[in-house]
Amino acid sequence: MAKRIIISGGGTGGHIFPAISIANALKRLDPATEILFVGAKGRMEMEKVPSAGYPIVGLDIQGFQRKSVLKNLLLPFKLFGSLLKARSVVRKFKPDAAVGVGGYASGPLLYAAGRMKVPYLIQEQNSYAGITNKRLGDKAARICVAFDGMDKFFPSEKILLTGNPIRKEAVDISGKREEALAFFGLSSTKKTILVTGGSLGAGTLNRSMLAGMYKFMAEDIQVIWQTGRFYYKMVMDEIGEGPHPNFHVTEFLNRMDLAYAAADIIVARAGAGTIAELCVVKKPVILVPSPNVAEDHQTKNAASLVKHGAAVLVTDQNAEKELADVALNVLKNEQRCAELSERIGELALPDADEVIAREVLRIATEL
């Protein structure tokens, strides 16, 4: 008999894309599976999930606003309303299991599911568990994690090390180097750095690249530079409109597979989804964790890789002064590059989506 599964969470691409990957894996394992998403109204999941072909219900929920005391006055009312709506959604859909991937909507939905005796699975993406997941962990049927040492947050008997679901098309880089360099208009005889701060961009990475641009030029290094849409104009104003044969500057990378394939080293933030992809790509990585995230979890994500000798860490605070020099030193050290590639590859868990999906179907059947 076909199973009915609710997947809840979102807010950022780092939550939404893994959630959609799990849904796709569920449909591959059993095409008859019925899936309903629950997200937060006004957040990007309300657009991305329907585009992927799945129905979604929105809760009127928000997170704690550090910069606005006034907005926080509405939080208890929104939380109460979201709990009532989540309970109604569970009652109507009658799921066999629920999945929470993090984000505002995940808490109310999993809480309602637990109270209504629906087994649920938590997918904790980071090396430092969020407050909501920690509170819901005791009653979860299973907690799928991407990093070691998560028993300090969750009951050890419920933990399964699965890794984070990745975009399979983005990490499909085998045999694509020459195609990739031609795509970006770059030379096969020069070293290439990929810099990516995600679709929105990262101010620190962009400022650091501008600060070090002439050092890269002097060393004849090529750069694939994803600025993000918030920073593209600022970067182009700084570097000018003239020809820059060694620099491919773009607002957004539509072909991450080719960007990864072209790179000799990669500079990135330390979001859980990014790290999961980088482990599969197996290129030397310099991580500049964002300080603007809950519990500073990106720094903890990066530290877990550094502990294994699998990445180089540059702090956000020091990046403008240090990033260019660190990148050039890594790029020139072939043995260091080989070691970083090998170590990060050892951490890859490329089939996380199917492993998690099988676990979801198991708890839907057995519990």
- Residue ranges for the binding site for UDP-N-acetyl-alpha-D-glucosamine? 12-14, 126, 167, 199, 298
Cα gap 38→82, rounded to integer Å: 11
Residue 65 C-alpha from the chain's centroid: 22
- Paired with 216 in beta bridges are none
Q: What is the largest CA-CA distance in the chain?
A: 65
CA-to-CA distance for 198 and 196, rounded, in angstroms? 6
Cα distances (angstroms) measured from residue 135 to each of 9, 86, 97, 106, 139: 15, 17, 19, 12, 9
Distances (CA, A) of 6 to 23, 225, 364: 9, 38, 11
Angle of the 106-115 helix axis to the 75-93 helix axis, nearest 10: 50
Q: How is 308-345 classified by DSSP, letter by letter? A: TT--EE--TTTHHHHHHHHHHHHHH-HHHHHHHHHHHH
Cα–Cα distance between 332 and 328 in angstroms, integer? 6
SS3 content of the chain, % helix, strand, coil (to 5): 50, 15, 35
Which positions make up the binding site?
A: 12-14, 126, 167, 199, 298
What are the tokens at 111? 């809480």
- In whole angstroms, give the CA distance from residue 235 to residue 308: 34
Nearest-angstrom CA–CA distance, 144 and 128: 13
Helix (H, G, I), strand (E, B) or coil at 136: helix
Structure tokens at 302: 């990066």
In whole angstroms, what is the distance from residue 318 CA to residue 245 CA? Answer: 28
- CB-CB neighbours of 363 under 10 Å: 19
Residue 11 and residue 271 in contact, taking contact as beta carbons nearer than 8 Å: no
| Token pair for 329 | 């030193």
